[in-house]
Amino acid sequence: MSADRRKASPRAVVVMGVSASGKSTIGLALADVLGAPFIDADDLHPEENKARMTAGTPLTDEHRLPWLHTVGRAMRAETDAGHDVVVACSALRRTYRDVLRDGTGHDVAFLHLTAPREVLAARIAARRGHFMPASLLDSQLATLEPLAGDETGVVVDVSGSVDDVVAHASAWLEGTR
């Protein structure tokens, strides 16, 4: 970790996007590069949410909001301890991102991962053991609200390699310090 990064106040980096955009893969790799802890928000879903999604039922805000508050508290625990943190979380709507920002209480940057629908669908079809079925991809794409101009964030196409995406994200993050 550079001396400049140690002096800066801690921040959370939320790796966001729809299912199969690579949030966990990119988030883990980015956390490694940054020397930061990694949190996969999927691990914080209550079993009821996982069961709904496994059954192909999209979550409502009633189901998402308590989970997002839990994610925000986990982010805050790290940033309050003086650590940067990288979090993989769908954060599809502005209101969801607001909950995360409010819960963290520190600087939050969003890395919005995107890819063509066909790429995402192929990734979903190829993965095993995840509770999110391919049938919910269109629901997530319909729910997704792009980052607004007043949100600290960048959009990155993930059709390329993990190394390329992480290099792009790291350079952008360094420029925002």
Predicted confidence (pLDDT) at residue 134 exceeds the cutoff of 70: no
What pLDDT score was predicted for residue 177? 72
3-state secondary structure of 16: strand
| Chain segment 56-110, per-residue pLDDT in tens | 787 889 999 999 999 999 999 999 999 999 999 999 999 999 999 999 988 899 9
Q: Was domain 3-175 assigned CATH 3.40.50.300?
A: yes
pTM here is 0.87
Report the C-alpha gap between 166 and 146 in whole angstroms: 20
Average pLDDT of the chain, as a whole number: 88
Report the C-alpha gap between 156 and 142 in whole angstroms: 19
Closest CA to 34 of 173, 150, 145, 175: 173
Q: Where are the domains of the chain?
A: 3-175
Q: Which of 49-53, 140-144, 149-153 has the highest mean pLDDT?
A: 149-153
Where are any strands of DSSP class E within 17-152? 38-40, 85-88, 107-114
Q: What is the mean pLDDT of residues 1-28?
A: 80
| Chain segment 154-172, per-residue pLDDT in tens | 999 998 899 999 999 999 9
Predicted confidence (pLDDT) at residue 3 exceeds the cutoff of 80: no
Report the C-alpha gap between 158 and 168 in whole angstroms: 11
Predicted confidence (pLDDT) at residue 131 exceeds the cutoff of 70: no
